[in-house]
Chains A and B, each alone.
Chain A
Amino acid sequence: MIRRNIRLAFDALLREKNSAANTLLEGIALIVIGVMIFIQSLTYYNYNESDKILKYGVENSGKIDIELSDEETDYDALVKEIKNIKGIKAIGYITEGSCDVEGYKGDFAKDIYELQKNNEDIMYEKTFGKYIETVILNYGSEGVINIDVDKGYNFNECDELLEEYEEIIYLGSNLSGYDVGEVIYNERGGKCIIGGYLKSNQRILIDVITGETLSYIDVDDRPIILKKLNTLNIFAVNSSEDMEGIREKIKILEEKYDASITMKTYDGIFDGILKRNKTIIDFFEHIATLVILTVIILQICMQTVNLIENFRNYGILYANGFSTKDHMFIFVVQNAIKGIVGMILAIGAGYILIDLFYTDVVYSLDILYEVFWKYTVWKMGICAMLITIITSLITIFMFKKKSPKELIQEN
């Protein structure tokens, strides 16, 4: 009996008016729903992951903006005075450009270390090209930190740049040995400030310095720190220092130089970003929910109409001995098949869309697939089930209200 009803359901799907088109429509509806869920899940995933972002060490360093109201004011003198405030370890100006800081350990670190130690100049030319300067910060086969500066500087410019170069870096925890806030000089005299240490699995925002985006990179067991350097001032304070005391002294300088000076520690910047992102996520969630509900309702309507369109056929079955139970079964199976086929279409489309829109700037492909399988597919499945159940209930209700005579007269 079940086999017979399944056969009839398949017959209806394949041969009845508009049923095949309706199945395709279910696929499209699920694709739209899937895209919504996917984007929503991705932002959530991101937000949750950003919770893992480095949160210690960053209270001792941050951004400092200096604005002068009078062009005549002696900027350098002001900076010097700020530097001299007790507790401030460093303040520096970073030129525009971009900079990758990478850490290596193990055999690879050993190789790089040996190469650079013995044959530095060749190394520049061969491995990193003319326009990239590599500087070893931490000598020793235990670990190597590598700074690559690109942006099309030539060799000499690179040399110059690195001599004045000041920035905050975060080291992998396996490369510890410096105090947070400590200033280290690279071999060319460029300055780096240790901003903190990252444990493996921790993450750091890519644009932590400009503080604008939610993007991050994985640190995993190979500590990587990537920074975009914009024109801005950075500072670091002694870890034991009270920020409030420093701020008060800064206030005095503001009055003296008629300038406005804002100091933001990185942990404050992180919190700001997280808050802003939460607002965006909440807003998107509302929109996504609205779109998903609309599409579900739309598909339920289309699917119900499709079944009602073919009520005459069910009336014929009914008048020839098929029971209401048989019809319930046939409706549910039909809707379920539509759901399953729709899911297959949507999952296929998901794969194509992920590949199509994948750019390696922010997310790795693995993350996209993880979000897809872990958070998107089952929610899509629930939507498909919801469509199946509600459509079946409505059609069964409508069917039961009609006598076989009325059903046969449909259309």
Chain B
Amino acid sequence: MIRLVDVKKTYKNGEDTINAVDGITMDIADGEFVAIMGSSGSGKSTLLNIIGCMDEMTEGEYYLDEISIHGKKMKNLHKIRKSNISFVFQNFALMNHYSVYENVEIPLLANNIKKKDRKKIIEEKLKLLGIYELRNKVPTKISGGQQQRCAIARALVSDNNVILADEPTGALDKKTGEEIISLLKEINKKEKKTVIVVTHDEKVAKNADRIIVIEDGKIV
């Protein structure tokens, strides 16, 4: 359960202040699939980063499963993020000097999971996403869609309840993009995970339970 109450985020650029997120109040229930839409610069990524504890907010209240996030320092945000939230990025954010397998392993290493257990979990997720055969390849040697599957596998292994995806199809062609979205949808349904997707694509948004449109940092 995600609850935002009048959340604001302002950036100071010299003299001007930019209200990237300007008083957003919303609830997202567990297991919901939400799409966030809006024009470029409307504050979607900023909002997602706040939800994902990647960024501190300037004002407002944020409760994640009843834990109050607001007012917490980056260090504590890190702990909350680690055990609750996984990310899928537009540019995949894979380590190019690691193989697919090793990339998926990262969150498990962070959680000090034993090697044997790691192997079991990783192989299961790689198979689920249909990239088991590619496990020993490095990201630069596989296609964009396969890279994003790898990133999603990585988001799944840590077994966090919330998956945030900032334009996960932005760097992919239409068909591959659709595949990735239906994958996310499947994960949302089967694994009962809350999925929040930022997207420009109406078709992508149509898959969502709910669409939130943002303009100038406000919900419209």
Contact = CB atoms under 8 A, between A and B. Distances in A.
Interface of A: 1, 4, 8, 11, 15-17, 312-313, 315-324, 326, 403-405, 408
Contacts of B95: 313, 316
B33 interface: no
Looking at chain A's contact residues, the main secondary structure is helix
Nearest to B105: A320
Interface stretch (B21-29, B109-117, B179-187): B109-117
A404 B111 contact: no
B107 A324 contact: no
A317 B106 contact: yes
Interface of B: 49, 54-55, 74-75, 78-79, 81-82, 86-87, 89, 91, 93-95, 97-98, 106-107, 109-112, 154, 158
B119 to A, nearest CB: 15
Contact of B93 (A16, A316, A323, A324): A316
Contact of A4 (B78, B98, B112): B112
Given A316-B93, A319-B87, A320-B158, A403 B54 contact: yes
A408 B78 contact: no
Nearest to B109: A4
10 contacts: A4-B112, A313-B97, A319-B54, A320-B110, A321-B81, A321-B110, A323-B78, A326-B110, A403-B55, A405-B54
A408 B97 contact: no
A316 B91 CA distance: 11
B87 to A, nearest CB: 6
8 cross-chain pairs, A with B, having the tightest CB-CB distances, nearest first? A321-B110, A15-B97, A321-B82, A320-B106, A320-B107, A405-B54, A408-B93, A322-B110
A321 B110 CA distance: 5
A319 B87 CA distance: 8
B154 A320 contact: yes
Contacts of B107: 320-321
A4 B114 CA distance: 11
A66 to B, nearest CB: 79
B94 A321 contact: no
Nearest to A322: B110
Nearest to B104: A320
Contact of B94 (A8, A316, A323, A404): A316
A4 to B, nearest CB: 5
A17 B97 CA distance: 9
Interface centre among B91, B97, B154 (most CB of A within 10 A): B97
Given A404-B54, A405-B49, A405-B54, A319 B158 contact: no
A403 B93 CA distance: 15
Contacts of B54: 319, 403-405
Interface centre among A8, A315, A326, A404 (most CB of B within 10 A): A404
Contacts of A4: 109, 112
A315 B94 CA distance: 10
